[in-house]
Structure 1
Amino acid sequence: MKRKALIQWRGGLKRGKGSISTESGALQNVGYSYGQRFEDAPGTNPEELIGAAYASCFSMALAGELEKRGHMTERLDVTSEVHIEKTSAGWKIPQIHLRIVASIPSARAKEIDEIASLTKDNCPIGRVLNTHISMEIHIPSNESVAPDSLI
């Protein structure tokens, strides 16, 4: 299996603009720029996309690992926070932090934590990331936690 993305960049670093398109059509000419990446201008950036890719890969892998052990996932809400910092060698991502809200009625919290710890480094996206990945898992007793409250 192969997946493709087309990235186009026009201009210099600070005044240039880029666009992202994916073969699937999920992203079509989505713009990005220096301001979106380093100055909090509205829009996406590569680090946000890495966070989304990792969180979605992790959630699918965790659901799969839980299912292998006989647990059906009712809900996983995963928020990723990608840390980026400038060093003397250039920009780097020193850490990605995952916040997971999990509803898996048949599994105990300790078991979910153990499976999640194994999963975080073993999903395909996690394997290519060369950074520290931390996570916290919340298993609410009140199932009314809305996904919007995590962002």
Structure 2
Amino acid sequence: MKRHTTAVWSGTVKEGKGYLTSESKALDNMQYSYKSRFENGTGTNPEELMAAAHAGCFAMKLSADLTEAGFPPEVLETKCFISLEDGAITKSELDVKAKISGIKDDKFQELAEGAKQNCPVSKAYKNLDISLKASLENKMN
């Protein structure tokens, strides 16, 4: 399977602008720019997209692993923070809150760690420092 996204950039890095369009059209001429990457401008940026990919992939892998172990999740809420430091992407921090009936925390931690190690995006990000905070919650917001 292959998926693609097209990036079109016009102008200089600081004054220019770009647009991203994905094959599925989930991104359809999504704006990105120097300001959206390094300041608080409108639009997306590569780090935000990397975080979305890692959060989504990890959540799907954890759901599959939990279900296979007999603990189908009710809710998995995953945030991912990607760090850009000194011109390099250095870290991916996963933070998952889960609502799952009948699972003990040690089993949940084991399965969450396994998902962190084995989701395809974690494997692609193998040169990053990947951390995980996993917590079971009775109530989800």
Using the size of structure 1 for normalisation, the TM-score is: 0.89
Residue 136 in structure 1 maps to residue 133 in structure 2: yes
Tell me what 2:74 maps to: 74
Tell me what 2:60 maps to: 60
Q: What CA distance in whole angstroms lies between the structure 2 residues aligned with 1:123 and 1:94?
A: 18
Conserved in 1, the CA contact under 8 Å of 2:91 and 2:130? yes
Q: What CA distance in whole angstroms lies between the structure 2 residues aligned with 1:6 and 1:42?
A: 19
Q: What CA distance in whole angstroms lies between the structure 1 residues aligned with 2:33 and 2:45?
A: 7
Calculate percent identity across the aligned residue pairs.
Answer: 37
Q: What CA distance in whole angstroms lies between the structure 1 residues aligned with 2:102 and 2:65?
A: 14
Q: What CA distance in whole angstroms lies between the structure 2 residues aligned with 1:69 and 1:93?
A: 34
SS in 2 for 1:81: strand
Conserved in 1, the CA contact under 8 Å of 2:117 and 2:123? yes
Conserved in 1, the CA contact under 8 Å of 2:55 and 2:94? yes
Conserved in 2, the CA contact under 8 Å of 1:72 and 1:106? no
When the two chains are superposed, the root-mean-square deviation of aligned CA atoms in Å is 1.0
- 1:139 CA displacement: 1.3
- 1:106 CA displacement: 2.1
SS in 1 for 2:72: coil
- 1:70 CA displacement: 1.2
1:36-55 → structure 2 map (5 Å cutoff):
36-55=36-55
Letter in 2 for 1:140: E
Given candidates 116, 119, 125, the residue that maps to 1:120 is 116
Which whole-Å deviations, capped at 9, do the CAs of 1:30-68 have from their partners, x for residues lacking one? 000011111122321110010011000000000001111
Tell me what 1:11 maps to: 11
SS in 1 for 2:108: helix
Letter in 1 for 2:115: T
SS in 2 for 1:15: coil
Q: What CA distance in whole angstroms lies between the structure 2 residues aligned with 1:137 and 1:79?
A: 11
Conserved in 1, the CA contact under 8 Å of 2:31 and 2:42? no
- Spell out structure 1 runs of 4+ moving beyond 6 A: none
Using the size of structure 2 for normalisation, the TM-score is: 0.95
Q: Which deviates more from structure 2 when the two are superposed, residues 45-54 or residues 115-124?
A: 115-124
Q: What CA distance in whole angstroms lies between the structure 2 residues aligned with 1:38 and 1:107?
A: 41
